[in-house]
A and B are shown apart, each in its own frame.
Chain A
């Protein structure tokens, strides 16, 4: 007989659940400024350590320190702060609009504002993002009109995607924002393909792929890493680790890997792990990875360590699976408050100006909302029409669809 002890299934569990007290003191957070900055052409083998640390620029006192600091001017930092404030105000209003029944669904960014807004500023105007549903900051930081975003959320007559897509599933070729799919991870390999296309044609544009920690478990993620590695595609492979995939904690997707960034190593792709709540660190890492891609040195994996403060979507209630206090216990702080403190430290900002900027952001959003609602919401006004439903299935409507459209009465 086999005298081994019986096997048992290992199922990872988060450290605490509702009712427990979250304690992040065991989470290792390196001091700001302590992580080295290699040249972009360093051998990937020589910088494997960067996938197991956290690149941070802003310290507790709000100072920008270390080799990843000093990239951005005061003006650029103020812009970044305004983008984050705008995104937060937009989220709050749209969340409310959903609760009021003006739209069917919404997904917010609360706590993750720095990532998409700072990344966008490291890209050029012709580069392309392949985002998921939590990167509206890419649009905001590129100056995309709030009104258009809202019309999309309201599925009204001015919705650029004509009422067909779920709210927040934006699309703007002009603003480097690839149309969002609800099927997780599919965009990741497409981003690699786009970058390969640019390389094939000898262009100078690069692409950026976006994915959540949970979605890295999908096949498409792994296909993307293989292709990016094989062809040294000019792409930045972003992973937003906000700790949760709906009710499932990040350990389920990560499994035995030390970090999500470390996934790059199996493919020979250099990987950085970054404080996602630090606007300066996100921007610096993004700029480094973008430069690598631009100089044809190939892909970089970047993991942003952050926390999803809000629910997964308006259909989710996070208090059912994690302690309510977890978001406040989260050790990397609030990205807006951290940048605000830094700017105040520089003497470029003040509490008064911040309060004023917050009010301005709310005002801007309110004005756009009035305009959007004057056009229509999902319930009222001029909505995307049923006639629209039959168009764009093909470039030219085939006879069977023409027939069906007539049958439907349009």
Chain B
């Protein structure tokens, strides 16, 4: 067991996957010699050579399209899109091709690829370095969508994603790369290296996709969340003192419906929290499912806290970001309802 940052955990996962299976190849913009602008692939080219880890032209469509072809050949590509905001040029390849290859060929061709992308705000990246596009993927059948919130999960989930026989969208909350986030920009970010949640088991292990984790037990209300917002939720729970159960979904699709519903049936109250814009966001899906499964257990309507329905602004990003104060306000309202 060692303490590492999320970046180091992701590096480590790549390293183990490449050592274990020589079909794993890693590529994307700046990922080769330099090791990626966030350094998540640092050292891989040196260790595994240029034909297993290399720089690509700035063509997201090229990156994903080539990955699909390599997968059809029999490789296991794990590719990086520099920021999730830049996956749109690749969207057709992801949606019309990667997601449907198995289905349209009746299993003759498959697409075991992983598409990693840093997501979310909190680094003053404005609208083109801050988006949370998860709903654009969970809406597409044939894809799996994963969002880790700790270094250990980042490692285990990435290894499971690389081993998965289907295309996986792996969204990395960039705000969490170097340390957990207590929800407010005025406070320093604690490094994962000194934080209890920075502990990452050594060696190869997989954290199964489709299994949520209960990061804090409670019986007053359930908070369903993922990524950066897990830490915002924990800060809000601390601020309110309400005995909330915080569930980190970890995989958005497939969703761990059992863990979610069990918790909501127990608490009778549910708050859905994400950073992406509210309207038609992933939270709407969660709310609908909770309503279907737990209607007779609910003491109040399912509440949602999310980003505002505007593009991510630069200077006002902390007014945009759903912080602990907003979550706490909703939690209190929900307890009174």
B30 in contact (CB, < 8 A): yes
Instruction: Tell me the bound Cα distance from A400 to B129 in angstroms.
Output: 25
A242 in contact (CB, < 8 A): no
Residues of A within 8 A of B56 (CB): 252
Q: Which of A163, A164, A248 contacts B30 (CB 8 A)?
A: A248
Which chain B residues numbered 285 to 332 have a C-beta less than 8 Å away from chain A?
Answer: 308-311, 313-316, 319-320
Instruction: Tell me the bound Cα distance from A110 to B114 in angstroms.
Output: 38
A355 in contact (CB, < 8 A): no
B279 in contact (CB, < 8 A): yes
Closest A residue to B56 by beta carbon equals A252
Q: Is the CB of B34 within 8 A of A165?
A: no
Q: Is the CB of B59 within 8 A of A164?
A: no
How many A residues face the partner with a CB closer than 8 A?
49
Which chain A residues numbered 329 to 370 have a C-beta less than 8 Å away from chain B?
Answer: none
Secondary structure type dominating chain A contacts: loop
Q: Which of A163, A217, A252 contacts B314 (CB 8 A)?
A: A163
CB proximity of A388 to chain B, nearest CB, Å: 7
Q: Is the CB of A182 within 8 A of B316?
A: no
Q: Which of A11, A166, A383 contacts B50 (CB 8 A)?
A: A11
Closest B residue to A163 by beta carbon equals B315
Instruction: Tell me the bound Cα distance from A404 to B62 in angstroms.
Output: 39
CB proximity of B94 to chain A, nearest CB, Å: 14
Q: Is the CB of B51 within 8 A of A8?
A: yes
Q: Is the CB of B58 within 8 A of A215?
A: yes
Q: Is the CB of A17 within 8 A of B33?
A: yes
Residues of B within 8 A of A247 (CB): 30, 33-34, 37, 55
Q: Is the CB of B59 within 8 A of A217?
A: yes
CB proximity of A274 to chain B, nearest CB, Å: 23
Instruction: Tell me the bound Cα distance from A401 to B311 in angstroms.
Output: 12
Q: Is the CB of A404 within 8 A of B54?
A: no
Residues of B within 8 A of A125 (CB): none
Instruction: Tell me the bound Cα distance from A181 to B309 in angstroms.
Output: 19
Q: Is the CB of B319 within 8 A of A408?
A: yes
Instruction: Tell me the bound Cα distance from A184 to B54 in angstroms.
Output: 21
Q: Which of A8, A155, A217, A220 contacts B57 (CB 8 A)?
A: A217
Given contacts A9-B50, A218-B89, contact A105 B124 (CB under 8 A): yes
Closest A residue to B34 by beta carbon equals A247
Instruction: Tell me the bound Cα distance from A248 to B314 in angstroms.
Output: 27
Interface flags, A170-181, vs B, CB<8A=1, else 0: 000000000001
Interface flags, A358-398, vs B, CB<8A=1, else 0: 00000000000000000000100001111011100100000
Q: Is the CB of B309 within 8 A of A393?
A: yes
Given contacts A9-B50, A248-B30, contact A386 B316 (CB under 8 A): yes
Residues of A within 8 A of B319 (CB): 386, 389, 408
Closest A residue to B279 by beta carbon equals A400
Closest A residue to B329 by beta carbon equals A407
Q: Is the CB of B89 within 8 A of A182?
A: no
Instruction: Tell me the bound Cα distance from A186 to B259 in angstroms.
Output: 43
Instruction: Tell me the bound Cα distance from A351 to B251 in angstroms.
Output: 66
A104 in contact (CB, < 8 A): yes
Residues of B within 8 A of A248 (CB): 29-30, 34, 55, 58
Q: Is the CB of B279 within 8 A of A393?
A: no
B61 in contact (CB, < 8 A): yes
A200 in contact (CB, < 8 A): no
Interface flags, A292-325, vs B, CB<8A=1, else 0: 0000000000000000000000010000110000
A253 in contact (CB, < 8 A): yes
Residues of A within 8 A of B308 (CB): 389-390, 401, 404, 408
Closest A residue to B62 by beta carbon equals A217
Residues of A within 8 A of B279 (CB): 400
Residues of B within 8 A of A165 (CB): 126-127, 314
Instruction: Tell me the bound Cα distance from A384 to B126 in angstroms.
Output: 13
Q: Is the CB of B51 within 8 A of A183?
A: no
A245 in contact (CB, < 8 A): yes
Residues of B within 8 A of A393 (CB): 309-311
Q: 27 A-B contacts, Cβ less than 8 Å apart?
A: A8-B51, A17-B33, A163-B314, A164-B315, A164-B316, A166-B129, A166-B314, A183-B86, A183-B88, A185-B58, A215-B58, A217-B58, A217-B62, A218-B59, A246-B34, A248-B58, A253-B58, A315-B37, A320-B34, A321-B33, A386-B319, A389-B310, A389-B316, A393-B309, A393-B310, A393-B311, A401-B309
Binding site for A on B (CB under 8 A): 29-30, 32-34, 37, 50-51, 54-62, 85-86, 88-89, 124-129, 278-279, 308-311, 313-316, 319-320
Apart from A184-B86, A389-B319, 20 more pairs, CB < 8 Å: A11-B50, A11-B51, A105-B124, A155-B315, A163-B313, A167-B314, A182-B128, A183-B88, A185-B58, A217-B59, A219-B89, A246-B29, A253-B57, A321-B33, A384-B315, A385-B316, A386-B319, A389-B308, A404-B308, A408-B319
